[in-house]
């Protein structure tokens, strides 16, 4: 494949957004988890919830900080690399993404600060309220991102005036039917991802025989949430697939590696899609099931890629495997969740070491599912950046050269390797050490410096600085 600014810009965007999404996804789930813990503590008065809360609050703070920094870089990508997109659709995407930035600020400037620094300054009821507002705020943040992306997937509520794409109906743009299945899909993904991380952390402690009391709570809640939410997610995921079938038939055909029109259509479980030959090698398939999954009828006709002009074809391999990896991860999480519940019910959970190992090793499953799902959605939308309205190849900043993007991509890769590597290692260390004393806010730290919060007070010299009395 030849290098050109479009391809390199796509790689750069994919690289930056993949590193970014890990943190907000984790943060959304953790915020809800923290609100739950605080609610449980208020309700039961059990101090174990407080210890677990203080521990996860540190992880949350670091994750939030990493999300903010990597998000700032994202905010400039639309202008630097996708100038035509920014200019042509900015009247819709600009306000949506602007709402997201402002939501994040509101959060940082208000309840997030209370959550990090206000434990001893506000009443327990208000503190719990602040936790709930932070959880809501992270969800709103994702709401705007999903509204923006859903509009790029299935543009609605706009009209074209003098070649410019302008908003006509904001309600339709923000609350369209596609948005209303994709946002819950993302929220559930975030919740389940965090649930798996919480369960895996608990399993890790049991395997090492440390923090047993806290570990039990984490295992119960993490596995329980995964067991309950995963079936819901499979259903919502199915609805998401239906929107693809209805609005993006070429993407649907690519995900299913269906080259020719079929009636009834078979379901290809695994294969190697060969684009040159337009057929699947080593295919494992079942007749008629494809029709049933898409339409609920066993003998419906489904479109293959042959029905579309080849210049409108998305790549096939990435959506095909991305989708299957996502579903595979979902099934693993479902299995771990249900098996965990069964073992808990029969009282063997904390003695079944192989299962604890399996739970521990499931730590990344949610992240893998989120990334592969997003790759399916975004690569499957190609060759369009805004489906049916603007081609990706026409959206790039016209002045960019190959060397410009090579330079920026290399620099981002190097800096992120150091910075995200260090941040991830830091979260790992926090998780490894486990719950200890109370999280101590450092004097001089504000809500916009969550990393300082997660630190131990005595190692931060800034903490020794103080105001003159």
**How far is it, in rounded angstroms, from Cα 293 to Cα 290?**
5
CB 249 within 8 A of CB 306: no
Residue 456, C-beta contacts closer than 8 angstroms, at least 6 positions apart: 440
Place of tokens 């019910």: 345
Q: How far is the CB of 350 from other proteins (least distance, A)?
A: 35
Q: How far is the CB of 149 from other proteins (least distance, A)?
A: 15
The structure tokens listed for 108 are 């940082």
Residues from 94 through 123 that contact other proteins (CB under 8 A):
94-95, 97-99, 101-103, 105-106, 108-110
Q: Count how many Cα atoms sit within 13 Å of the Cα of residue 209 in the half-sphere of its side chain.
A: 1
The structure tokens listed for 410 are 């290399």
Nearer to other proteins, 162 or 310 (CB): 162
262 SS3 class: strand
Using CB under 8 A as the binding rule, whether residue 398 contacts other proteins is answered as yes
Give the range of 202-210, 281-289, 311-319, 402-410 binding other proteins by CB under 8 A: 402-410
286 burial type by CB count under 10 A (0-12 exposed, 13-18 middle, 19+ buried): exposed
Using CB under 8 A as the binding rule, whether residue 6 contacts other proteins is answered as no
Member of 14, 15, 18, 79 binding other proteins (CB under 8 A): 79
Residues from 151 through 180 that contact other proteins (CB under 8 A):
161, 164, 166-168, 170
CB 319 within 8 A of CB 380: yes
**Rounded to 5 degrees, what are φ and ψ at 355?**
-70, -35
Nearer to other proteins, 158 or 185 (CB): 158
Q: How far is the CB of 151 from other proteins (least distance, A)?
A: 13
The structure tokens listed for 239 are 């609805």
Give the range of 199-207, 247-255, 331-339, 414-422 binding other proteins by CB under 8 A: 414-422
Member of 31, 32, 92, 390 binding other proteins (CB under 8 A): 92
Nearer to other proteins, 103 or 138 (CB): 103
Using CB under 8 A as the binding rule, whether residue 213 contacts other proteins is answered as no
Give the range of 118-126, 206-214, 270-278, 449-457 binding other proteins by CB under 8 A: 449-457
Member of 3, 44, 46, 72 binding other proteins (CB under 8 A): 72
**How far is it, in rounded angstroms, from Cα 260 to Cα 461?**
66
Using CB under 8 A as the binding rule, whether residue 46 contacts other proteins is answered as no
Q: How many other CB atoms are there within 10 angstroms of residue 196's CB atom?
A: 29
Nearer to other proteins, 43 or 170 (CB): 170
Give the range of 276-284, 290-298, 324-332, 460-468 binding other proteins by CB under 8 A: 460-468
CB 84 within 8 A of CB 394: yes
**How far is it, in rounded angstroms, from Cα 254 to Cα 315?**
7
Q: How far is the CB of 465 from other proteins (least distance, A)?
A: 3
166 SS3 class: strand
Give the range of 246-254, 290-298, 431-439, 450-458 binding other proteins by CB under 8 A: 450-458
Using CB under 8 A as the binding rule, whether residue 136 contacts other proteins is answered as no
38 burial type by CB count under 10 A (0-12 exposed, 13-18 middle, 19+ buried): buried
Q: How far is the CB of 55 from other proteins (least distance, A)?
A: 19
Using CB under 8 A as the binding rule, whether residue 3 contacts other proteins is answered as no
Member of 391, 419, 424, 440 binding other proteins (CB under 8 A): 419
Report which DSSP code applies to 302.
Answer: B
Q: How far is the CB of 378 from other proteins (least distance, A)?
A: 20
Residues from 333 through 362 that contact other proteins (CB under 8 A):
none
Place of tokens 């899609």: 273
Among 312, 154, 175, residue whose Cα is nearest residue 245:
154
Using CB under 8 A as the binding rule, whether residue 134 contacts other proteins is answered as no
124 burial type by CB count under 10 A (0-12 exposed, 13-18 middle, 19+ buried): exposed
469 SS3 class: coil
Chain CA centroid to CA 416, Å: 18
Q: How far is the CB of 404 from other proteins (least distance, A)?
A: 5
Interaction site with other proteins (CB under 8 A): 69, 72-73, 75-76, 78-80, 83-84, 86-87, 89-95, 97-99, 101-103, 105-106, 108-110, 161, 164, 166-168, 170, 397-401, 403-404, 407-408, 411-412, 415, 419, 422, 444-446, 448-449, 451-452, 455, 459-462, 464-468
């Amino acid at each position: 494949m030849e290098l050109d600014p479009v391809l390199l810009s796509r790689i750069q965007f994919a690289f930056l957004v993949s590193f970014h999404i890990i943190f907000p996804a984790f943060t959304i789930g953790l915020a809800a988890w923290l609100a739950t813990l605080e609610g449980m503590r208020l309700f039961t008065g059990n101090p174990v919830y407080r210890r677990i809360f203080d521990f996860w609050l540190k992880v949350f703070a670091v994750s939030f900080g990493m999300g903010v920094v990597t998000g700032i870089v994202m905010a400039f990508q639309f202008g630097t690399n996708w100038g035509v997109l920014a200019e042509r659709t900015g009247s819709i995407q600009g306000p949506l993404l602007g709402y997201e930035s402002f939501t994040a600020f509101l959060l940082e400037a208000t309840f997030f600060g209370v959550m990090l620094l206000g434990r001893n300054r506000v009443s327990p009821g208000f503190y719990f309220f602040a936790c709930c507002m932070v959880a809501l705020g992270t969800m709103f943040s994702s709401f705007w991102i999903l509204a923006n992306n859903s509009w790029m997937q299935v543009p609605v509520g706009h009209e074209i005036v003098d070649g410019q794409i302008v908003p006509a109906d904001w309600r339709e743009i923000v609350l369209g039917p596609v948005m209303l299945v994709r946002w819950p899909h993302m929220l559930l993904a975030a919740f389940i991802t965090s649930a798996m991380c919480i369960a895996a952390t608990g399993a890790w402690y049991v395997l090492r025989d440390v923090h047993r009391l806290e570990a039990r709570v984490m295992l119960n809640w993490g596995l329980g949430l995964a067991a309950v939410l995963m079936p819901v997610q499979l259903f919502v995921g199915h609805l998401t697939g239906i929107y693809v079938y209805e609005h993006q038939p070429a993407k649907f055909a690519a995900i299913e590696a269906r080259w020719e029109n079929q009636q009834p259509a078979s379901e290809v479980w695994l294969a190697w899609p060969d684009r040159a030959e337009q057929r699947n090698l080593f295919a494992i398939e079942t007749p008629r099931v494809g029709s049933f999954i898409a339409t609920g009828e066993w003998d419906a006709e489904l479109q293959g890629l042959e029905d579309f002009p080849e210049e409108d074809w998305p790549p096939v391999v990435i959506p095909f495997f991305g989708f299957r990896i996502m579903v595979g991860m979902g099934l693993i999480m479902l299995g771990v969740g249900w098996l965990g519940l069964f073992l808990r019910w029969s009282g063997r959970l904390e003695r079944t070491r192989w299962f604890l190992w399996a739970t521990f090793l499931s730590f990344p499953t949610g992240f893998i599912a989120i990334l592969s799902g997003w790759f399916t959605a975004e690569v499957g939308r190609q060759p369009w950046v805004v489906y049916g309205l603007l081609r990706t190849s026409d959206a790039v900043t016209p002045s960019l050269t190959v060397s410009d993007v090579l330079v920026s991509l290399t620099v981002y890769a190097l800096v992120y390797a150091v910075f995200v590597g260090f941040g991830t290692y830091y979260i790992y260390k926090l998780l490894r050490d486990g719950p200890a004393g109370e999280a101590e806010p450092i004097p001089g730290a504000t809500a916009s410096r969550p990393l300082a919060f997660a630190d131990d007070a005595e190692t931060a010299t800034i903490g020794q600085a103080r105001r003159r009395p």
